[in-house]
Structure 1
Amino acid sequence: MTLGIIGQAAALFAVTNIDDLLVLALFFARGAGRPRSALRITLGQYLGFAAILLAALAAAFGAAFLPESALPYLGLLPLALGLKAAWRTWKDRGDEDSPDSGRPQDGPGPLEVAAVTFANGGDNIGVYVPVFATTGTGGMWVYVTVFLVLVAVWCAAGRFLATRPVVARTLSRWGHVLLPVVLIGLGLLILVEGGAFGL
């Protein structure tokens, strides 16, 4: 029984978070060579995912932090961060001698990563709530435990992808452009799919 729930939890996590691997790889590439950057990215991923879990648990127990109609507007977070990153990249476009152009000195911060993770998890909340509500308290905590373990696995996989020579070269060369594009695209996708602003 417990092994079955563990397998279901692992499969559910993988299916609902596959898009996070690309975002994590971009964050890890952006923070490459900066002290404690991996720790900050991992902390941000945990903060963002913990917020997703808290919202899903609260809704499963009958209290909602955010009304369902507000979830599509979470797309504004990655959209704003993507526009900020695009502005920084455009502003520093002629500063090719600086390896840090377009990037903060210490790489992405935990709150930036957490905001993107939480905004990208609006659909996760919608999937997790009925699962948590129907699995019972014991099963719910198995899901939560498996999810939290798999966040570490996802962070390791994102870092692994970002450090593969071919991927690392590509992200090193184009990451400053890819990150804003991915964040803006993610934000727009969340807004459009959720019907925000009547889209």
Structure 2
Amino acid sequence: MITSIAQAVALFAATNIDDIVVLSLFFARGAKRPHITRTILLGQYLGFFGILTVAAITSYGAVTLLPAGAIPYFGLIPLALGIKAGWDTIRGIDEDEDGAGRSLALPTVAAVTFANGGDNIGVYVPVFVSNSPQVVAVYCGVFLVLVSAMVFLARFIATRPGIGEWLERSERYVFPLVLIVLGIVILAEGHAFGL
């Protein structure tokens, strides 16, 4: 059991380290908004639950939800969200309806998390296939605990003096750029559109 937990922690870290940057930017984007941690945490859990669901169902051959060739096209989600956020910045739209700060919706967090999880699915499927259902359950349990840890680590980073201020000042430019680059990387690494 201890070995499985250690392996799950290592696997989670290897496949999710890039999420720290994106989550920190989410915190900067929603700075000073009430309940932003809850929104980001729930969105991260929804997206990650989608990743685990696809990986588990595919692993056990119950159904192929997605052909392997479709996963790289998940890159279109952060690419489109990044282009929209960049366009809104250019047009000077950076407040939500009540003027309380830049908008950040739970579906956006979930969609970016899921789209960024193509590599997770690709790694989790062979690991799940080669282990018993009990070990897979341990892996999933560890992953779900670590999702919270990752969100709170990102919040900690985003609220550090200096870092928090820089993120708040520059997120309107950095956030769209990171999403666009993330989308392009997902598309390119998966050879979508013949890239």
Letter in 2 for 1:45: Q
Aligned residue number for residue 46 of structure 1: 45
1:38-85: per-residue Cα shift (whole Å, max 9, x none)?
A: 111110000000000000001101122111000000000000000010
The alignment status of 1:81 with 2:81, answered yes or no, reads: yes
The alignment status of 1:55 with 2:57, answered yes or no, reads: no
Equivalent pair of 1:88/1:103 in contact (CA under 8 Å): no
Which runs of structure 1 show a deviation greater than 4 angstroms over 4 or more consecutive aligned residues?
none
Q: 1:195 is matched with which residue: 179, 191, 194?
A: 191
- The two structures, once aligned, show a CA RMSD in angstroms of 1.0
1:13-55: per-residue Cα shift (whole Å, max 9, x none)?
A: 0010000000000001111110111111110000000000000
Q: Give the unaligned 5+ runs of structure 1.
A: 93-100
Equivalent pair of 1:83/1:180 in contact (CA under 8 Å): yes
User: How far is 1:103 from its partner?
Assistant: 4.2
SS at match of 2:18: helix
Aligned residue number for residue 97 of structure 1: none
Q: Give the unaligned 5+ runs of structure 2.
A: none
Q: Give the paired residue count.
A: 190
1:137-161: per-residue Cα shift (whole Å, max 9, x none)?
A: 0000000000000000000001001
The alignment status of 1:123 with 2:122, answered yes or no, reads: no
Identity %: 53
CA distance in 2 between partners of 1:68 and 1:102 (Å): 37
CA distance in 1 between partners of 2:162 and 2:9 (Å): 29
Letter in 2 for 1:102: D
Aligned residue number for residue 36 of structure 1: 35
Aligned residue number for residue 19 of structure 2: 20
Q: 2:94 is matched with which residue: 102, 122, 125?
A: 102
CA distance in 1 between partners of 2:186 and 2:143 (Å): 22
TM-score by length of 1: 0.93
TM-score by length of 2: 0.95
